[in-house]
Chain A
Amino acid sequence: MQPFIEITAVAAPLDMANIDTDKIIPARFLRRLRGPDYGKLAFHDIRYDANGNDRPDFVLNQAPYRNARILVAGANFGCGSSREAAVYVLYDYGIRVVIAPSFGDIHYGNELQNGMLPVTLADEICQKLRRQLHEQPGAQIAVDLESQTVSGPDGAAYRFDIDPNHQERLLKGLDDIDLVMQNIKEIEAFEQRHHKELPWLA
């Protein structure tokens, strides 16, 4: 996994709560293998009209936000289906950080597994950031994982919480399978004991 350390980049505001993973990638595209154009599928049905042309009202279609690598969204971002393709399309579009008041649990975990950083900040702060991004289209936000800080377009800094294990994995780009297999002795001992107690599960 690519490590994530820090980023300073254009941020785009997504002014809606409950952006579900069906919105991030509709089901009919899930059977496509992840190829070079995968990022074009991100937000497909709210991004393109019936003829496949860009919808001008969608924020990432507006010139100053096109190169956004950070999204600032409403509460419960990524709720719904567990589809990890929702992370692949965001990542392949170029998004590395999503800032929101809350996330769907599974999607939050999926971002972490792919070198993306989900940042949880209070609703008022997210709203303020989005307001600033509307007022100054193309403005940048800085996110530093080591110091757990988001710096808004006006330079104001906000500290965010992240589980120390998640932080370490992202900073070092650690592979979860390796982390598991370091415990293989404990795993095998556990399985022996567990299946002795509950033998029909072995």
Chain B
Amino acid sequence: MNKPSALELAAAVRAGQRSAVEVVEEHLDAIEAGDGAIHAFNLITADEARQQALSVDRMVAEGRDPGLLAGVPVALKDNLCTRGIPTTCSSRILEGWRPPYDATVVTRLRAAGAVMVGKTNMDEFAMGSSTETSATGATRNPHDVSRVPGGSSGGSAAAVAAGFVPLALGSDTGGSIRQPAALCGVVGMKPTYGTVSRYGLIAFASSLDQIGPFATTVADAALLFDVIGGHDPADSTSLMRPTPRVLSVLGDGVEGLRVGVLDEYMDGADPDVVARVRQAEAALVAAGATIEEVSVPEVRLGLSAYYLIAPGEASSNLARYDGVRYGLRVDAEDTAGMNLRTRSAGFGPEVKRRIMLGTYVLSAGYMDAYYNQALRVRTRIIEGFDRAYRRFDILLGPTTPTTAFPLGEKTGDPLTMYLSDVCTIPTNLAGHPAISVPFGDGDGGLPVGVQLLGPALSEGTLMMAAAVVEAAAPPSPPVLAPVSEPEGLR
């Protein structure tokens, strides 16, 4: 599978060697041929994509530079607002709503010449780890359509894995980029909180949400991160300092890099997954890094704290879906009745579960025991990581404890489902960056992801190390879905 990378495509389009229109048509054809089996997309915006591609070609013809992502097809998770284009969060409650504005990341993609081909499926309001809570139906894993792609950004991960697009954006609140990236065998990165604007990202848990890239290569992920990152005055939590420009430092190597292998993450993972992490560890050593085991016991508390903080914030963020202003409305005798019926009909069971949980943990008499206690735990997790980062530059571990699980296996047991994010959640609580790099396969030929974690704003270091891991990775297992092969570089 030697599909051109985003970097190659953009270079070819900018040089006038390929037309953006031709590139987008190939990818639209691939989506049409293959997405019936995968359901990566909620919506394909072919007309808009062709328009964007045309304008890129026009710029090239006029001798102007269309930007770093010239003509590169990109898929957007369906919780990113797109002006005039339905944005649903895979929920019935947003039925019919067309945002009157673009998310900041969408504006930046446009400015960089990217061609946006559609909105990808996700767990409803990003609440889930398998993309099965979507109101539009589950997305399938392109490596085995009987298995989940992970979640909540399962559609974006599957779209990249299936070759529908070289790049996609997802959002990561507790692992929603890295976990599906691992399960689908692609690169997925969760940036430092505040490096990518959240303006136009429909909020799940505001203090944890962060937008990040999916790609087939580390370099492509770095490219996309460089385009979407940077301060945005429309997001008050956006960092004022310049975003690390990571693409340019990718080749710097890991000589002397101090890498800690995180005991707590290794302990809970399946042996086939652990074996791949050990192999990645060896690759880093071979490239000149030093490796040591490290324990950060606080991360064991991450899952519990997360399931108090995230639902607490979500219960407030999702209050606005009340039938008054947009989306679904189910009429009733009075306003309160209308609110109730609208929300009862519009939200799925997992979203309702989290709203109820979140409302409970914030209510008078329980707040201190639950929500405030979780905030104290969050502080301890940050302290635990800080301690580790005094001795190590980055940490290494599995992204997920297991490979992709069968559809339906965990939907009946929310707690088991929540456990599949046990290795990704602490990073969100700390606001740190982390990246999942595909590293061969595990039992049954399913992809395994290796996770690299770093302190705030260490994206450059993480990407350098990820590039070393990527170079040493065994070949990815094949994608089984019927995907038409886009033409290679001419």
Query: Does B bind A?
Result: no
